Amino acid sequence: MAIETLPEPTIPITRPLRSAPELLTATPVIAAAAVCLGLVIVSAIAAPWLSPHDPLLLAPAQRLKPASAQFLLGTDGYGRDVLSRILYGGRISLLIGLGSAVFSVGIGLMIGLVSGFFKWIDAIMMRVMDGLMAIPSILLAIAVVSLSGASLMTVMVAITIPEIPRVARLVRSVVLSAREEPYVEAAISLGSSLPKIMRRHLMPNTIAPLIVQGTYVCASAILTEAILSFLGAGISPETPTWGNIMAEGRAYFQIKPSLIFWPGLVLSIAILSVNLIGDAARDALDPRLKQRGGGQ
Amino acid sequence: MLGYLLRRLLAAIPVMGVVTLFVFLLLRLTPGDPAAILAGDNATAEQLERIRVSLGLNEPLYTQFFTWIGRLAHGDLGTSLTSNQPVLKLIGQRIEPSIAIAVSTIVLSILIAVPLGVIAAWQRGTWIDRFVMGLSVIGFSVPVFVIGYVLIQIFAIDLHWLPVQGYRSIAGGFGPFLERLILPTLTLSFIYVALIARMTRASMLDVLGEDYVRTARAKGINEAGVLLRHGLRNAAVPVITVIGTGFALLISGVVVTESVFNLPGIGRLTVDAVLGRDYPVIQGLILLTSGVYLGVNLLIDVAYTLLDPRIRY
């Protein structure tokens, strides 16, 4: 008796993008975003070597100088070199972006894992998260900074708190669907310890969405830091951050708009690059979204 | 329906409770003497005592909380530490410009973003789609104040079409009011258009793949009818939802936009409160905006029933 062979699968098998370089060169736009972000990061790290002047040096005689060979982007109202301040400013902005992303993802992951697993904790935690989400993030951050004083750590905490509920809700939704999977039920019935189930079976499911969410949090944190500094509720004004440079530029906007436009441009490029890379990561890690058209 | 409304209202109470508890504890749990934090480094002993009495800081924590909640229930949001005026009165004096910008931004954004999203989904993969999505990513990435200053530079300083900054109350005539509202509204609309257009496109793409859309096309209904009657009506629920969740974003945007355009609204009140460490004002603003946020989202839940007859409570 002839044995019928199974037909060839008709569903095209697509290979997911596996490596970071592959992801970052998927389209020309993403490659450009990766290059821009790379340049911003390198220039921030190498600021002490790249900066032509001391970003804190006050030189009243050089106030509001236009762009020249000596000051490539001109000087601000205190005679400080704008280019040097922008280069140094990137350090604080990127540090806050990265720090807030790491903290909010870490804390949100813990809350989400526990909430997704214990119903009674879930009921309380999600009400707390709903409450935090109802407070406009800028007002929440302003309240924290105005009470605790404006240091790098306070600003980072102030930006992290409003981001935690978004991460926690995401992790919780992943855990809620993953815990119904047979492999989790099997692990429970085999008597695996709870930390082991969380670490081995639940956490791996959250990695892909968390990478995507982390990039969005990073972009949003850089933006919020700039807004806080701009409103006068950020890190002390003499510290060069992109928001501080723009906040100081407000007073001179009508005579020297470049004090706002140059840091604004660099800030926008940095946030745009992080957002585009986040979109690319989402499309690569969750191809369903791309097929549905949610992606770029 | 009434039962549903009641249930939703009841569900909003614990959320608002968390907001009030958070706002209450934030001041009390910050390391150091709360009165000293608020009064600043150069405060005299009398000033410290005045703040302690005004905020009831000498009482035990639970007494402070229940006294505070009792006052809130009577509409007393506290007294400003810098101007000694009731917080609610201060907010009332500054609310008009903020409501004006918020409402005009929502209206303008919906008028621009929904058609953009529908067209992008309809022309999926073409340059129009890419343009709309590109615009949306840029809208998310460029800070509100940068957009504001670019618009001021172009339309007020270079072209002299519109005033640079300032506000005129609607009571002083509609023309001057509108003239000063155009640039702030355009500025704030950028991010909101980005948000709504993106959601409209994604939601429309979902709907346009449905069988009933194919059937509608097969019946020979013209494309506009397919897109609007069969497409947009079914895609509306997620779009309305994002308008509601984006409301917190809008409030944050209003604060920044008012600073850029020098508008005497609640944004300026916030900034002044931060500079003067006027915590009762910040606290009042947080409670009020969070309440408005919850109220708007409740209304949106009710709006679902009108938009989608399948949703019945």
Per-residue model confidence as pLDDT tens digits over B186-198: 999 998 999 999 8
B25–A contact, CB cutoff 8 A? no
> Which has the higher per-residue pLDDT, B304 or A96?
A96
Confidence band for B114, pLDDT divided at 50, 70 and 90: very high
| Residue in A143, A227, A261 closest to B282 by CB | A143
Asked whether residue A114 carries a pLDDT value surpassing 50, the answer given is: yes
Report the pLDDT averaged over residues B82-104. Answer: 91
Report the pLDDT averaged over residues A256-273. Answer: 91
pLDDT more than 90, % of chain B: 22
| Residue in B143, B205, B285 closest to A268 by CB | B143
Asked whether residue A291 carries a pLDDT value surpassing 70, the answer given is: no
**pTM of the entire predicted model:** 0.86
Q: What are phi and psi of A115, to 5 degrees?
A: -65, -40
**For residue A288, what pLDDT is reported?**
56
> Which has the higher per-residue pLDDT, A167 or B216?
A167
Set of chain B residues whose Cβ sits within 8 Å of the Cβ of A244: none
- Residue A215 CA to residue A98 CA, distance in Å, equals 9
Asked whether residue B1 carries a pLDDT value surpassing 60, the answer given is: yes
Q: Which residues contact A14 (CB under 8 A, 6 or more apart)?
A: A287
**For residue A269, what pLDDT is reported?**
93
In terms of Cα–Cα distance, which of A226, A286, A136 is closest to B141? A226
User: Chain A closest CA to B190's CA: distance in Å?
Assistant: 14
**For residue B271, what pLDDT is reported?**
86
| 193-212 of B, contacting A, C-beta below 8 A | 201-202, 205-206
Confidence band for A36, pLDDT divided at 50, 70 and 90: very high
In terms of Cα–Cα distance, which of B140, B246, B250 is closest to A270? B140
- Per residue in B6-64, pLDDT (tens digit) is 888 888 888 899 999 988 888 887 777 778 777 777 778 888 888 887 777 778 888 88
**For residue A12, what pLDDT is reported?**
44
Confidence band for A99, pLDDT divided at 50, 70 and 90: very high
**For residue A205, what pLDDT is reported?**
85
pLDDT more than 90, % of chain A: 31
Question: How far does chain B reach from its first CA to its final CA, in angstroms?
Answer: 6
Confidence band for A8, pLDDT divided at 50, 70 and 90: low
pLDDT more than 70, % of chain B: 98
Beta-carbon contacts below 8 Å between A and B: 158
Residue to substitute from A146, A216, A241, A276, interface B, most B β-carbons within 10 A: A146
Please tell me what DSSP assigns to residue B56: T
- Residue A36 CA to residue B163 CA, distance in Å, equals 36
Q: How high is the ipTM of this complex? A: 0.84
Confidence band for B312, pLDDT divided at 50, 70 and 90: low
- Residue A103 CA to residue B253 CA, distance in Å, equals 25
User: Chain A closest CA to B131's CA: distance in Å?
Assistant: 11
